[in-house]
Amino acid sequence: MPDLEEDLSRLFRQVAGSASAPGAELVRDVERRYTRRRGTLTALVAGVAVLVVLVGGMGAVRVVGDDPRPSKPITPAADGPVTEVWPTALRRVPLTLPNGKQYSFAGLLPDGRFVVSTLGGFEKIDALWVWDPDAGTAEKVVTLADRPEGRAFTQRILVDDDWVVWSIDYLDADSNARASEVWAMPVTTLAPKRVAEWSGKNVRGPFDLALTDGVVRWRSLDGIGEVPLSGGTPRVLPGTQGYGVVSWPWIGSPPPLTRESQGKMVYGTQRNLVTGERRVAKTPTAKNFDGSCSVTWCVYRGKQYTSSRFDGSDRRTYSDVLESPGMDGGIIRDRYLLLQPHMGTPKARLVVVDLTNNRQVVLGPVVTGADGNTSAIRWTSDQFIAWTDNNRKPTEYLVLDLSKVD
C-alpha cells in the first residue's frame, strides 16, 4: 500500500499542475502547515561502526521505564515573555526580501545570515537565497530548473554550520517521481554541487535529510539511504525499512506522516546503529496518538498534553493545550516543545517549553489571523523558531536563535 506521505505529495502536485498562482495568504498557510513539519535534523553523534552492527547483530530490546512518576499540571508561561527571558537570542526580520518577494526560512548560517527559499508556484520552490536582513541584501545562490524527466520539486533543505544540503524530485505528469537528486554546497563558498542522483519508474524518497561527518542520510520507503558528500552511489542501510533518522546514530519507528504512525507513538521504538541497542518508549497510556519522541523526550496527547523522558520519568502535563505547532507536533532540538492553548483559555499565549530546564517562555498572544489560523508560528527547525509578531496584521518575523538560548 503506498505511503501516506507519498499519496499526499502526489495529490498536491497534481493540483499544482493545473492551478493558477495562489494568493499570498494561501501561500503562507500552506507554508506554515508544511514547513512546521519539515524541520532540520541535527546529527549529534558520529556513526563509525554501522556495518559492523548491522552484520553482527542488533542487540537486546529494552523497554525503558516501568513506573513513570505522575506530576501536577504545569501552568505555561511561568517565566515571562521571550523579549525578557532570552533577549540576546531574539531577532526581528522583515517579512519580504529587498526585491519584495515573500520567502520561507530554510536555515541559519554561522555568520547570522539566513538561507531562505522562494516559491515559483503552488508548493514549488524556484530558488534558494542567502538573506542578510542586517545589511538588507539577498543573493540568489541556487535556481531550480526542470529536467526532461519532469518538473523540479524541492521540499527538503538542511542547513548546518558547514553545509547546505537539499534534495530535488522530478515529477512526471502523473506526479510520480522519475528522478531524484541530492545537492550540497559549503557555507564558505556557496558553490552548489550534485552529490547523488538516481532514477526509476517511481522513486521512493528521500523524505527527510540528516547530515553527520560528511555523510547525508534520508528516509525512504525502502529504508534509510546514505551517500557521502564527496559523491558516490546512494545505498540503503540493511534492516532499516520503516525507520527514520531521529538523531544519528539513533533511528526510530514508525516515522512521521505515514499510515504506520496513525494511532502510535512516532519514533517510539528506537535503535542505535552503532551500539546495537534497541529500546521502546515507556508511556503511561495504552492509546498513544498525536505523540512523538526524540532521543531524550516524548510528548503525547491524552486527556491533556503530556511530556516525559523516553524512560517515562519526569512526567509533566499541560492544561488547555490545543496543539503543538512544532516539528511534527513534537520536540525541537531534543529540548524544546511549542504549545498553543485553546482559544478559550484566558489570555492564551504561544509558549515554548524548555524541557531540559523546566521553563516556559511566552512567544506571543494567540489570536485568529485573517486566514483563520490561530498560530503565528511559521517555521521551526533545530536551529530556530520563527513566528510573526501579529497574526492578524503581521509587520515582521521574530526569530529565536536556539543556539543562543541560555
Q: Mean per-residue pLDDT for 181-189?
A: 93
Which region among 141-145, 178-182, 203-207, 323-327 has the lowest average model confidence (pLDDT)?
A: 323-327
Residue 211 near residue 245, CB atoms below 8 Å = no
77 pLDDT higher than 50: no
Say what percent of the chain tops pLDDT 90: 37
Quick one: pLDDT band at residue 350, thresholds 50, 70, 90?
A: confident
Choose between 166 and 329: higher pLDDT. Answer: 166
Q: What is the pLDDT of residue 234?
A: 86
Q: What is the pLDDT of residue 1?
A: 46
Q: Mean per-residue pLDDT for 264-278?
A: 93
CB burial of 188-227 (b: ≥16 within 10 Å; e: otherwise) equals eeeebeebbbeeeeebbbbbbbbbbeebbbbbbbebbbbb
Q: pLDDT (tens digit, 9 = 90+) per residue, 244-256?
A: 999 999 999 988 8
Quick one: pLDDT band at residue 184, thresholds 50, 70, 90?
A: very high
382 pLDDT higher than 70: yes
How high does pLDDT run on average in the chain? 76
169 pLDDT higher than 70: yes
Q: What is the pLDDT of residue 240?
A: 94
57 pLDDT higher than 50: no
279 pLDDT higher than 50: yes
145 pLDDT higher than 60: yes
Quick one: pLDDT band at residue 163, thresholds 50, 70, 90?
A: very high
What domains can you pick out in the chain, each with its CATH number?
A: 4-404 (2.130.10)
pTM: 0.77
Q: How far apart are CA 139 and CA 117, in angstroms?
A: 11
Q: How far apart are CA 400 and CA 378, in angstroms?
A: 12
Q: Which three cell numbers stand for residue 178?
A: 522519475
Residue 164 near residue 381, CB atoms below 8 Å = no
Q: Is 206 helix (H, G, I), strand (E, B) or coil?
A: coil
Say what percent of the chain tops pLDDT 70: 68
